């Protein structure tokens, strides 16, 4: 049977139950006073689906409060359809596509996409390369920096720095303003354990970075070296593969992305990469993982617009 026929994609009550079972996996907590397990479903025909009353503070609440669904008038089952579409599409889903598929306005679709990306954002993560692992570091370029004119080279393009932990096979990407040492090194030092070995190409900016870590190896792309002859595990092919998926998605789906929104698209591509089928995470589990990340991610339209 098709997964798309699952009740939580069509039935509002089933959608609430689906979200509640993930957000309240450790017990139903009141978003007003924080008390867990002291609430009951409001009965009666006139009450809305998913409304509970807290017996501690006497206030009503639903699972949407404080999540990406906060204040949204879009039905929860449509939200779950949107989440599944974004979770299962390697290159992402444009606001236009969401607008056409879900039958919501383009503005609503755009906002939904950004709220779902917010749920895909992971924060406060452990350093990469712990226990002496290897971390690949590389940059890529996309679109045009605000206020810059297109020309030869990459100076006018938006810049992304990605790190990939070889052991955990996880990616972490950030938007950077330039390719200087004072921009790149702090990002690497903040995200990578000192015991790690850094793997890069031979860009000047990485020269000497090994003294901050247990070591640094590089391959010389300029001379056509993509894998070190003497040490076959010295390469940056993993991060380059990541970039190829990212760039195909950005070109094919999100070509008009402004710099203020780029960090959210990076969160989306990082999330799909870090929850990919090669790591045993299928489309259904990936969508479920997004729902597990909706809490504490309230995002207003103004905040989304300004890209904060
Ligand atoms: Zn309460």
Q: What was the pLDDT predicted at 119?
A: 96
The pLDDT assigned to 200 comes to: 97
pLDDT of residue 153: 82
- Is there a domain that residue 7 lies in? no
pLDDT at position 229: 81
In a domain? residue 294: no
Q: How far apart are CA 163 and CA 65, in angstroms?
A: 34
- Give the pLDDT confidence score for residue 47 in this predicted structure: 66
Residue 218 lies in a domain: yes
- For residue 158, which phi and psi values (nearest 5 degrees)? -75, 145
User: Which residue ranges of the chain lie beneath pLDDT 50?
Assistant: none
Which domain range does residue 251 map to? Answer: 134-261
The residue length of the chain stands at: 308
Residue 37 domain flag:
no
CA of 65 to the centre of ligand 1 (A): 12
Q: Is 308 within a domain?
A: no
- Report yes or no on 219 lying in a domain: yes
Query: What pLDDT shows up at residue 308?
Result: 74
Strand partners for 41:
52
User: Which residues place a Cβ less than 5 A from the ion ligand 1?
Assistant: 30, 32-33, 54, 56-57
Predicted local distance difference test score (pLDDT) of residue 301: 85
| Residue pLDDT, tens place only, 221-239 | 878 888 888 888 999 999 9
Spatial contact of 177 and 183, defined as CB atoms under 8 Å apart: yes
> How far, in Å, is the centroid of ligand 1 from the Cα of 203?
55
Residue 56 lies in a domain: no
Dist. CA 30 → ligand 1 center (Å): 5
Number of domains making up the chain: 1
Tell me how far apart the alpha carbons of residues 253 and 261 are, in angstroms, rounded to a whole number.
14
Q: Which CATH number goes with the domain that contains 251?
A: 3.30.420.10
- The model's pTM: 0.93
pLDDT at residue 205, as a whole number = 96
Residue 188 lies in a domain: yes
């Amino acid at each position: 049977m098709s997964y798309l026929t699952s009740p939580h994609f069509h039935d509002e009550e089933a959608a609430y139950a689906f979200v509640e079972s993930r957000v309240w996996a450790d017990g139903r907590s009141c978003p007003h006073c924080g008390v867990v397990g002291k609430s009951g479903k409001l009965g009666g025909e006139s009450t809305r689906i998913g409304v509970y009353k807290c017996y501690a503070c006497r206030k009503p609440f639903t699972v949407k409060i404080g999540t990406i669904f906060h204040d949204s008038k879009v039905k929860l089952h449509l939200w779950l359809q949107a989440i599944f579409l974004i979770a299962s599409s390697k290159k992402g889903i444009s606001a236009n596509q969401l607008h056409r598929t879900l039958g919501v306005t383009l503005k609503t679709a755009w906002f939904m996409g950004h709220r779902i990306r917010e749920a895909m954002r992971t924060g406060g993560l452990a350093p990469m390369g712990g226990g002496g692992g290897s971390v690949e570091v590389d940059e890529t370029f996309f679109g045009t920096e605000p206020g810059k004119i297109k020309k030869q080279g990459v100076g006018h393009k938006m810049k992304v720095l990605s790190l990939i932990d070889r052991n955990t096979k996880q990616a972490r990407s950030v938007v950077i303003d330039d390719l200087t040492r004072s921009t790149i090194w702090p990002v690497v030092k903040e995200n990578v354990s000192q015991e790690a070995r850094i793997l890069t190409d031979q860009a000047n900016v990485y020269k000497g970075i090994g003294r901050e870590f247990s070591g640094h190896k590089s391959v010389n792309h300029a001379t056509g070296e993509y894998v070190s002859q003497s040490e076959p595990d010295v390469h940056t092919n993993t991060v380059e593969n990541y970039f190829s998926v990212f760039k195909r998605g950005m070109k094919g789906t999100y070509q008009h992305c402004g710099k203020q929104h780029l960090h959210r698209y990076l969160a989306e591509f990082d999330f799909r990469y870090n929850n990919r089928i090669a790591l045993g995470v299928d489309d259904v589990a990936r969508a479920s993982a997004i729902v597990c990340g909706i809490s504490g991610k309230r995002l207003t339209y103004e905040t989304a617009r300004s890209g904060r």
